[in-house]
């Protein structure tokens, strides 16, 4: 689990799982490139990191076609990236009867389109280091059904398929591609979703997690494991971290 001397880029680093992943990577010795859209919250994450050499980057991941050029500029100044974690994402609670195409497009653009753009950028010459690792964030909702979140679930299912396809495509370049599928984690993103549920619905959702709801740190441990040399023989995998949700 040692990341000493490695440079890891983390999207969605201004809060939640992304922030906790950045913190853990820094504690394991990595230099971290923080990516987000909120400058103040990125600065908070930056101040919380261990070690030196970290940097914060403001970038709108909805501009997927601009991502490869942007990653090229980052590697030019920070050196090759040894790992990339795509934790940024958006969630929309919309029953299918009121689910419009605009909502679907917005969710897919950030959750899937940005993931593809990041992979394109990472495999450019000089951007991803030899033996580099990409970790995407999927979700248990991409593996099992849940009402009211068709667009989000579709995007997370797409991440599973994308992970496996890219693992095969990028293996000759020694780039590993994996994803983590968390259950409900007490992050600001999920807190907003839980507040839209009735107390009964929230209690039922929590009860589905045999070990209770998780924390961002629970998921960040799995991400760091996949980024580090501990997972050197793992690619195309979906690591479920869900407190027993999918055991039912």
pLDDT for 20-69, tens place per residue? 999 999 999 999 999 999 999 999 999 999 999 999 999 999 888 999 99
Mean pLDDT of 98-106: 82
Q: Is 133 exposed, middle or buried (0-12, 13-18, 19+ CB in 10 A)?
A: buried
Sole residue written with tokens 């398929």: 161
Residue 87 falls within a domain, yes or no?
yes
Range of the domain at 139: 7-240
Residue 245 falls within a domain, yes or no?
no
pLDDT interval class at 180 (50, 70, 90): very high
Q: Is 221 a catalytic residue?
A: no
Residue 194: pLDDT over 70: no
Predicted confidence at residue 3, as pLDDT, reads 97
What would the two tokens of residue 115 be? 């993931």
Residue 1 falls within a domain, yes or no?
no
Residue 191: pLDDT over 70: no
Number of domains in the chain: 1
Residue 71 falls within a domain, yes or no?
yes
Rounded distance, CA 219 to CA 20, Å?
A: 9
20 backbone dihedrals φ, ψ, rounded to 5° = -70, -35
Residue 130 falls within a domain, yes or no?
yes
Residue 246 falls within a domain, yes or no?
no
Residue 154: pLDDT over 80: yes
Residue 206 falls within a domain, yes or no?
yes
Of residues 152, 163, 190, 242, which has the active-site annotation?
A: 152
Looking up residue 184, the CATH number of its domain turns out to be: 3.40.50.720
E runs forming strands in 109-231: 128-137, 176-182
Q: Are 147 and 186 in contact (CB under 8 A)?
A: no
Q: Report which secondary-structure segment, H or E, holds 56.
A: strand 55-58
**What is the pTM for the complete model shown?**
0.93
Residue 248 falls within a domain, yes or no?
no
Q: What is the mean pLDDT of the chain?
A: 92
Rounded distance, CA 196 to CA 104, Å?
A: 19
């Amino acid at each position: 689990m040692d990341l000493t001397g490695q440079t890891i880029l983390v999207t969605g680093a201004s809060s939640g799982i992304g922030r906790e992943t950045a913190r853990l990577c820094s504690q394991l010795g990595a230099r971290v490139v923080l990516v987000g859209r909120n400058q103040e919250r990125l600065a908070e994450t930056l101040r919380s990191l261990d070690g030196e050499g970290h940097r914060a980057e403001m970038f709108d991941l909805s501009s997927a076609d601009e991502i490869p050029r942007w990653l090229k500029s980052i590697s030019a100044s920070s050196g090759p990236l040894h790992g990339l974690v795509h934790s940024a994402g958006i969630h929309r609670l919309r029953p299918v009867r009121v689910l419009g195409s605009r909502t679907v497009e917005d969710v897919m653009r950030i959750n899937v389109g940005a993931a593809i753009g990041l992979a394109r950028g990472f495999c450019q010459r000089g951007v991803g280091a030899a033996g580099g690792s990409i970790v995407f964030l999927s979700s248990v909702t991409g593996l099992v059904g849940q009402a009211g979140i068709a667009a989000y679930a579709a995007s997370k299912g797409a991440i599973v398929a994308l992970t496996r396809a890219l693992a095969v495509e990028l293996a000759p370049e020694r780039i590993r591609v994996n994803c983590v599928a968390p259950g409900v984690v007490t992050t600001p993103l999920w807190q907003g979703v839980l507040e839209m549920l009735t107390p009964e619905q929230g209690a039922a959702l929590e009860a589905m997690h045999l070990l209770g709801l998780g924390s961002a740190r629970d998921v960040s441990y799995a991400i760091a494991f996949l980024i580090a040399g501990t997972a050197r023989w793992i690619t195309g995998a979906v690591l479920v971290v869900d407190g027993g949700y999918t055991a039912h």
